[in-house]
Structure 1
Amino acid sequence: MKVYFLGTGTSQGIPVIGNKHPVCLSKNEKDKRLRSSVLIEWNHTKIAIDCGPDFRQQMLRIDNDRLDALLFTHEHADHTAGLDDIRPYCFMESKSMPIYAQKRVIESLKKRFDYIFETENRYPGAPSVTIHEVEASKDFYVEGNKITPINVHHGSLPILGYRMDAFAYLTDVKTLDEDTYDQLKNLDVLVINALRIQEHPTHNNLEEALIHIQKINPKKAYLTHIGFQMGFHEEVQKTLPENVFLAYDQLILDI
């Protein structure tokens, strides 16, 4: 399995438009973060988790010419606004893109991208999708690969993370139920969000992310969905436990 970090930033990305914070002015490429998303290459299948407003740019910069499925964690714009950019994949393969999400998220996408889901008088240039509704803890398969949706809480909003074999991707997490920790046992790699040092009402701060990591106890953990308030990449990394790493854009993991 290969995991490509397409973006590791929060909803505004880094640098934030017009922001003069030192991190936003950093010349270090590891301090420049597009909106959070990953591409997973697994048994010759390519699966993306989320497609935010930077999706086209992310696909171009890794020169990705195929996508077999798209999974959504939740409906917020920084995780869904790039849906129209699946068009080239639909056109190249002459088929609909399989998308996987909770029913609530599908309904939100239908409102935002009604022309994609239109069944009559479709605009000929619109991408087409095949809808798969998923529920937490109910396994599903993408081209024979088992995926487990994991229930997590983004503040009061129930959203999904995903486990694939010994890899799990959780973003926008604030709290986990006790039985969720059991679903995340025996991981080689955990990816989980850590927005900043300071408390936030709906996202992990760094301390909370480290507590989740300690309870889950993966071999390695990578932090994502990072805001500029976290600080400089190189400085923050020095403060982390030896098996915990700040992810950065275009990082590739072999698992």
Structure 2
Amino acid sequence: MQATLTILGSGTSMGIPTLGCGCRVCTSPDPRDRRTRAAIAVQWADHCILIDTGPDFREQALREKIRHIDAVLYTHAHADHILGLDDLRPLTFHHPNGHMPLYADEPSARIIEKVFDYTFSAESKYPTRARVKMHRIQGHQSIVIHGATFQRIPLIHGEQEVAGFRFGNAAYLTDMNAIPDASLPFLENLDVVIIDALRKTPHPSHATIQQAMMWIDRLRPRRAWFTHMSHDLHHADTDNELPPHIRLAYDGLRIPVEL
């Protein structure tokens, strides 16, 4: 089943340009150096799945003309991955199920429900709250949405477990600096990998370019793209330093995948 993976955002938690910064990347005229907060959409037939809804989700959806969403999968509950949830509201009002399903692990679901208490609380009287329903997933659990299988892939982000997702011949592995051994068998035979590569210098919870390349060498996908990139990485210069099968993602990039 043919699908399109769209990079909604490829930036780090502060976004690029970063507020108050006048560096070469933040002032770059190259539109690929303008990076909103990391998220993707996977679209096939008349269906659309999001992975994460960050603070830039509304503008990302307008840019990509997203008018319908079947479900949202969450990698973890940091602000740059969840704060756009409220912008789902108009897309949930006429959802065919009466609510839009959201999928997250228990710790993330608990935080999301707390942050958006007025959305999830049974006592909420907010009349135009998002019509969503949270579903807990864990481990390497798979969910099937309109014939497409999305499998949760546990990753390590600093000292916490977060989720990547595999779907068909592709995997989305944002916000990570390690892959547990138990997850590696679920990442075999990939054609496409989107992987965290924050910058060149070490970070306690994100992969560097060198670490990301190490994981790509181990997973051996046909093509790989870096995401969740800081303003330390100039798009054109960094691309020129990479082997042909690895490139920097950019906002609006579309990648064909097979579900």
Percent identity (aligned): 37
2:208 to 189, 205, 208: 205
Note if 1:44 corresponds to 2:46: yes
Note if 1:154 corresponds to 2:154: no
- What does 1:38-77 correspond to in 2, within 5 Å? 38-77=40-79
Structure 1 CA distance for aligned equivalents of residues 67 and 29 of structure 2? 30
Letter in 2 for 1:7: G
1:252 to 251, 254, 257: 254
Q: Name the counterpart of 1:218.
A: 221
Note if 1:196 corresponds to 2:176: no
Q: CA deviation at 1:121?
A: 4.2
Structure 2 CA distance for aligned equivalents of residues 126 and 151 of structure 1? 31
Q: Name the counterpart of 2:120.
A: 117
- What does 1:98-109 correspond to in 2, within 5 Å? 98-109=101-112
What SS is found at the alignment partner of 1:163?
strand
Contact map agreement 2:12 2:38 (CA 8 A) in 1:
yes
Contact map agreement 2:93 2:131 (CA 8 A) in 1:
no
Q: CA deviation at 1:249?
A: 0.4
Greater CA drift, 188-197 or 133-142: 133-142
Q: CA deviation at 1:93?
A: 2.9
Letter in 2 for 1:101: A
Runs of 4+ in 1 over 4 A off after TM superposition: none
Greater CA drift, 132-141 or 25-34: 132-141
Q: Could you tell me the TM-score, scaled by structure 1's length?
A: 0.97
Letter in 1 for 2:51: I
Letter in 1 for 2:46: H
Contact map agreement 1:7 1:34 (CA 8 A) in 2:
yes
2:236 to 231, 234, 241: 234
Structure 1 CA distance for aligned equivalents of residues 121 and 147 of structure 2? 29
Q: CA deviation at 1:143?
A: 2.2
Letter in 1 for 2:207: N
Structure 2 CA distance for aligned equivalents of residues 226 and 143 of structure 1? 32
Q: CA deviation at 1:130?
A: 1.4
Greater CA drift, 192-201 or 137-146: 137-146
Cα 1:121/1:156, change in 2 over 3 Å: closer
Letter in 2 for 1:18: G
Contact map agreement 1:181 1:215 (CA 8 A) in 2:
no
Q: CA deviation at 1:216?
A: 0.3
2:169 to 159, 163, 166: 166
Structure 1 CA distance for aligned equivalents of residues 94 and 143 of structure 2? 26
Structure 2 CA distance for aligned equivalents of residues 246 and 191 of structure 1? 9
Greater CA drift, 53-62 or 137-146: 137-146
Q: Name the counterpart of 1:131.
A: 134
Structure 1 CA distance for aligned equivalents of residues 19 and 44 of structure 2? 35
What SS is found at the alignment partner of 2:250?
coil
Q: Name the counterpart of 2:4.
A: 2
Q: Count matched residues.
A: 254
Q: Name the counterpart of 1:175.
A: 178
Greater CA drift, 144-153 or 50-59: 144-153
Q: Name the counterpart of 1:82.
A: 84
What SS is found at the alignment partner of 1:199?
coil
Q: CA deviation at 1:179?
A: 2.7
Greater CA drift, 146-155 or 84-93: 84-93
Contact map agreement 2:47 2:68 (CA 8 A) in 1:
no
Structure 2 CA distance for aligned equivalents of residues 132 and 145 of structure 1? 17
Structure 1 CA distance for aligned equivalents of residues 242 and 94 of structure 2? 43
